[in-house]
Homo-oligomer: A and B are copies of this chain.
Amino acid sequence: MRELGEFALIDRINAGREQAAQVLLGPGDDAALLAAPDGRFVVSTDMLVEGRHFRFDWSTPRDIGRKAIAQNAADVVAMGARPTGFVVALGCPADTPVPVVEGIADGMWLEAVRAGGSITGGDLVLSEQWVISVTAFGDLGGQAALTRSGAGVGEVVAVSGELGWSAAGLAVLSAGADTSDPAFAHALATHRVPQPPYAEVIDLFGEHIPTALTDVSDGLLADLGHLAHASGVAIDVHAAALTDPELSALADRLEADAAQWILAGGEDHAFVGTWPSSTALPPGWRPIGVVTAGSGVTVDGTRPSGGTGWESFRGADATPTGHNR
């Protein structure tokens, strides 16, 4: 990479890319220009650090690129917005082989297009440690933003997307289990490239708009805790609604606790929201609990003990890698 140089490498990873229609000016000038037809835009940013949020011995560069975009796209979608574009900054060691950067860029592009946008610009710098920073944009299409603060007492809590499978994949990798075992394939794939159900959030709401919405990135209980706090309510989760026999079978093999993965794992980037009990849930959503008066999150009426989610600094000692809000 040092031989090729920053500008030549940027030219190479941008070559042949087709920008989304809403990108009015892509990479190559002082800044990019994106359309914001709504007159507003949603923006979210995440930083991923090698060894903490991703590992090159556990994921391909392409997977790392996809995941970096997916988790940021999920934040945009969790506001009820359609992803429109992404800017990325990479800090990488001077001896990084060019194909590693190209692989990350390819993965980023793949997922950006899947989410409905493109990579509209970026930065590339030398750094001893690998760092990936992504900023994602979205358009609300004239709708109100779906914040965490609108949940009301008596409402239904529902989820779209998988829970616990990313944590299971991380457990497989951490345990040094045989990653070629087909029984681990789905967990590993989910950990390496989460598949946020973008379409369920944006396209299928119809008349079934949630009162509050967030994505599950820190862990279900932690993220519900943020939502409950922002809304000034309590949430009770029904354990029976969260059981997953396939995940339990996998947990047994690793002598792990599937419930812990589901409640505290995060990183699947499922979406969780609240709806008035009189409203039918949109297709693809399943009820998992209720909004009650008070504060905090309980499981079947009991306040859970033990880890309930991820926090970057204090959680750092407990978990080697894999989490980012």
Contacts and interface: CB of A to CB of B under 8 A. Distances in A.
Contact of A40 (B7, B34, B145): B34
Contacts of A31: 42-44, 75-76, 78-79, 81, 136, 138
Interface residues on A, range: 35 or more
A136 to B, nearest CB: 8
Interface string A38-71: 1111111111110111000000000000000000
Given A39-B35, A40-B36, A316-B2, A30 B215 contact: yes
B127 A29 contact: no
B32 A126 contact: no
Contacts of A78: 30-31
Interface in A227-272: 230
A135 B32 CA distance: 11
A278 to B, nearest CB: 26
A89 B32 contact: no
Interface in A4-50: 4-7, 9, 24-25, 28-49
A129 interface: yes
A310 B7 CA distance: 10
Nearest to A89: B47
A147 interface: yes
Contact of A43 (B4, B34, B46): B34
Contacts of A325: 123
Contacts of A35: 39-40
A89 B44 CA distance: 10
A90 to B, nearest CB: 7
A225 B113 CA distance: 32
A129 B128 contact: yes
A202 interface: no
Given A125-B324, A129-B131, 9 more contacts: A4-B313, A29-B230, A30-B44, A31-B136, A43-B137, A47-B133, A51-B128, A123-B325, A125-B312
Lowest 7 CB-CB distances: which A-B pairs, in order?
Answer: A36-B36, A133-B133, A31-B44, A47-B89, A30-B78, A6-B312, A135-B135
Interface of A: 1-7, 9, 24-25, 28-49, 51-53, 75-76, 78-79, 81, 85, 87-91, 94, 120-129, 131, 133, 135-138, 140, 145, 147-149, 213-215, 230, 311-314, 316, 324-325
